[in-house]
Amino acid sequence: MHKLIKEIEIEAERLRTLPPAQESSALGAGDGPLTFVDIEILPGDVRSVLQFDGREFLRMAYVAVLRRHIDADGEDVYLAALERGMQKMEIVLRLRLSPEGRKQRVRLRRAFLPLCDLLLSKIPLFGYAYSVCREVLLLPRTVPRLHGRIEKMREHINRMKHE
């Protein structure tokens, strides 16, 4: 506990000494939560990020891992990767292991189970069977999520019609 308090004090002192231009250009510094689209994202909080899909997932992953908003190039590259079937956890790991991610030194929290899931799905032959079983077992959760996404799409279409 004492070590954590000391780290917080050091980070607070570092933030006080930042020049104004540098401080305002960053999304946030340190290990505190960031508020993004009315959602609080802790740095490295993997499970919170993995609950999103598509562009929302990528935006949250950048905030949680790289501590900044996503750029257009990164969004295009990773959105295409998602569409090709790359798993979200793999994208989180790629962001964390990138040169920028290493500089941020964000510790991935609550990542053990998603990481095990990723590794199991990568084992030849077994990974395919594991992925199929996982999808079947998660089907009761998936159906309501899909209904929610369909409802959001309907709302969006209705808004577009009224504009």
DSSP assignment of 105-117: TPPPBS-HHHHHH
Which tens digit of pLDDT belongs to each residue from 24-54? 334 444 455 555 445 566 777 888 899 888 9
Please tell me the pTM assigned to this model. 0.61
Question: What backbone torsions phi and psi does residue 29 show, to the nearest 5 degrees?
Answer: -125, 165
Q: What is the pLDDT of residues 70-102, one digit of tens each?
A: 999 999 999 999 999 899 999 999 999 999 999
- For residue 55, give every residue at least 6 positions away whose Cβ sits within 8 Å of its Cβ, in sequence order, or none: 75, 79
